C-alpha cells in the first residue's frame, strides 16, 4: 500500500514481514540466474510435500462464470490462499 499505519499492530504484538520474490527480475540484477534456481528449489520442495502451496481453490477454465465466482470470493473477505483460473 502507499501508506500503512503500523501503530495499531504494535499494541497487539503483530509482526509484519514483507518479501518480494521477483526483485532480481524487476531490477535486472547481475545474478538473475539465481531467481530460476530459487524457483526450481521451491518447486522441488512443493513436489516433495516439504512445503505447501498457498493454492486453495482451482475454479477451472477462465470464463465469465468462473471469473465472477473468483471475484465474489475475493470481495467476501473470507477467501484464504490463492484462487486459480486456468487457460489464459
Q: What is the DSSP letter of 7?
A: H
Query: What region, left, alpha or beta, does residue 19 occupy, with left being phi > 0 and alpha being psi -120 to 50 degrees?
Result: beta
Say what the pLDDT of residue 7 is.
85
- Domain hosting 34: range is 1-51
Which among 86, 87, 88 is positioned nearest to 58, based on CA atoms?
86
Q: Are residues 42 and 58 in the same domain?
A: no
Tell me the pLDDT tens digit for each residue of 47-80.
Answer: 999 998 888 999 999 999 999 999 999 999 888 8
Q: Are residues 11 and 41 in the same domain?
A: yes
Tell me the pLDDT tens digit for each residue of 1-28.
Answer: 788 888 888 888 887 877 787 888 889 9
Q: Work out how many domains the chain is built from and give that number.
A: 2
Q: Are residues 35 and 60 in the same domain?
A: no
C-alpha cell at 49: 510435500
Q: Are residues 45 and 59 in the same domain?
A: no
Count of all residues that appear for the chain in the document: 88
Q: Are residues 42 and 66 in the same domain?
A: no
CA separation for the pair 63, 88 (Å, rounded): 9
Amino acid at each position: 500500500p502507499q501508506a500503512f499505519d503500523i501503530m495499531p499492530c504494535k499494541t497487539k504484538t503483530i509482526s509484519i514481514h514483507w518479501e518480494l520474490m521477483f526483485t532480481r527480475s524487476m531490477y535486472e540484477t547481475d545474478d538473475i540466474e539465481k531467481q530460476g534456481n530459487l524457483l526450481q528449489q521451491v518447486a522441488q520442495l512443493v513436489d516433495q510435500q516439504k512445503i505447501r502451496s498457498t493454492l486453495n481453490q482451482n475454479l477451472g477454465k477462465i470464463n465469465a462464470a468462473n471469473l465472477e465466482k473468483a471475484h465474489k470470493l475475493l470481495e467476501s473477505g473470507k477467501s484464504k490462499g490463492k484462487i486459480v483460473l486456468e487457460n489464459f
